[in-house]
Chain A
Amino acid sequence: MPVTSEKIMQRLLLAVAFSALSALLLIAVFIISQGLPFIFRYGFREFLFSSQWNPQAGKFGIFPMVVSTLWVTLGAMAIGAPLGVAGAVFLTEFVPRTVMRIIKPSIELLAGIPSVVYGFIGVMVLAPLIRDHLGGPGLSLLAGSIILGIMILPTIISISIDSIMAVPKSYREGSLALGATVWQTVRMVTLPAARSGIAASIILAMGRAVGETMAVIMVTGNSVKIPGSALEPVRTLTANIALEMGYATGMHRQALFATGVVLFVVIMILNFSASYVMRQRKARR
């Protein structure tokens, strides 16, 4: 009897173990089956590289959204990556460990602030500041980049700290013993050794920035237009889906799923790169 139940348990667990993978495949299959036929029917190039998005007139070009997503994400990385990595270095190398042990979890806690709250503060505080001091409507590419840049800070800091901490102590001691200052040690020894972990944190943060929806809808203004400056409003891929899904029927709805396919592909590429970078790190150890 125990032997049979043992076998059943093993089978059951094996089946369960595939849950996450099957969920991923199921999602992929659904999004792709709803969106891909449209891309083929409408024309891949026309869909991806045309700037005409006018669902009422049967025009579905998502090029402005692709460009905008790229800009917003790059902007967010330009703000979040230096701040985050600098913070991680400062907290691991220049601050007593006890202080770091308090600040790191506090920053991770902040990762739990719901994105709608970030978005709301973007609308109430950031957009008026931009409008009054820099011009434009305030709801803009810049506002989106700043809010996303702040949102991804916890991800970057937390993973970067982990990978900097994982650099063996002996590396640092060797460098310091040779008379290098702490900063020289960081620049020449610690950072290069923690490189791939930091890179992975940035790629993961990028995935989060590309995929963020609610905060972005609230602060970017959602115009369908290739931005001419950082002060102009833009619409990202995620915003395009969330804004129009409620109204979409027929072709329009398929076009939104097709937008989802593009988003999905971008995210999977980022996931693959992050996992590749991480594997490299493990291989080197």
Chain B
Amino acid sequence: MKLDPKNTQRAAVAVLGSATLLTLTALIFIIVFVLEKGLPVLNWSFLTGAPQDMGRAGGIFPAIAGSVALTVLAVLLAAPLGVGTAVYLTEYTRESRLTAIIRFGADCLAGIPSIIFGLFGFILFVTILKMGWSLLAGGLTLALMILPTIIRTTEEAIKAVPLSYREVSYSLGATRWQTVYKVILPNALPGILTGVMLGVGRSLGETAAVIFTAGSSLRMPASIFDSVRTMAVHFYLLAREGISAENAYGTAAALIIAVLSVNLLAYWMMNRMVAKRT
């Protein structure tokens, strides 16, 4: 058979199509595998109950609380910095060598492996600043990890605010900051929230950096100087140490559902923003 263009075309479609199918199958398999084993365990008392016997029995409430507390802290620390950086880059300066360096710094920060963040947080926050394994040390470390995402998404969102809005604001005599604060930020809010949500998703799933900085104590935190165990760390320990496969799958299912819903929310907001723009 001679390979005329039509046959090549058919072959290409077949090969590319099966590659796509393989990709989707692999990724869907992972979700289905975890949910199938985990969903039967998930119920109200599992989510709200205290763990017993090191997590072998009982619920995972302290781990959920740990994840939420750590994530909220990281976002509270990172959001003002990220939004501020984006505002400066888009509204307060022209494209220059300086902005290129700042952007490059953010991109590089995004590429740093989590274990390096873990080492850094362990040395600086846990050891030198004597925070110990704590919410605070973990939150600071995670904040640095999610900062680039928030900067990038906010920048895109601010750029999407039509120029005419700014012109109207300035023509009314508003100062630059007034324009940013009253016109640009409110209009860019969905985009900013998208960045924050993506950061939340990343914080929820992170393990390596968290275990070195926030520790793994399975108790309800009473202050930001207490160590916490997040859902991801709890899952890791339950599964790895063979403490309870059942509860491990339950925790993984809860974690995956949480991360996917947060990401879904982020996409929904981003789509709404895009829809509004066009």
Contact = CB atoms under 8 A, between A and B. Distances in A.
Q: Are A and B in direct contact (Cβ within 8 Å)?
A: yes
Interface of A: 2-3, 5-6, 9-10, 12-14, 16-21, 23-27, 30-31, 34, 82-84, 86-87, 89-91, 94, 103, 105, 107-110, 112-118, 120-121, 125, 150, 153-154, 157, 180-184, 186, 204, 207, 210-214, 218, 238, 241-242, 245, 256-257, 260, 263-264, 267-268, 270-271, 274-275
B119 A245 contact: yes
A209 to B, nearest CB: 10
Interface residues of B, number: 81
Contact of A16 (B27, B88, B212): B88
Contact of A213 (B27, B115, B123, B202): B115
Contact of B259 (A12, A114, A241): A114
A238 B115 contact: yes
A115 B207 contact: yes
24 contacts: A10-B177, A12-B84, A16-B85, A17-B85, A17-B102, A20-B81, A20-B109, A20-B148, A27-B109, A30-B123, A86-B20, A94-B13, A103-B24, A114-B255, A116-B232, A120-B248, A154-B27, A181-B6, A183-B13, A184-B5, A211-B115, A242-B115, A260-B116, A267-B111
A275 to B, nearest CB: 6
A213 B118 CA distance: 11
B111 A207 contact: yes
B271 to A, nearest CB: 8
Contacts of B61: none
A53 B133 CA distance: 29
Contacts of B46: none
Contact of B105 (A13, A21, A153, A264): A21
Interface in B161-178: 175-178
B250 interface: no
Interface string B143-170: 0100110010000000000000000000
A20 B15 contact: no
Interface in B231-278: 232, 235-236, 239-240, 248, 252, 255-256, 259-260, 262-264, 267
A21 B98 CA distance: 11
A270 B176 CA distance: 38
A84 B22 CA distance: 10
Contacts of B107: 271, 274-275
Would you list the 3 A-B pairs with minimal beta carbon distance, nearest first?
A211-B113, A21-B105, A114-B205
Contact of B177 (A6, A23, A24, A180): A6
Contact of A117 (B17, B177, B235, B262): B235
B40 interface: no
A117 to B, nearest CB: 6
A204 B112 CA distance: 11
A181 B5 contact: yes
A260 B33 contact: no
Contact of B85 (A20, A110, A210): A20
Given A109-B267, A113-B31, A157 B232 contact: no
Nearest to B28: A110
Given A26-B120, A183-B5, 4 more contacts: A31-B120, A91-B20, A180-B5, A257-B119
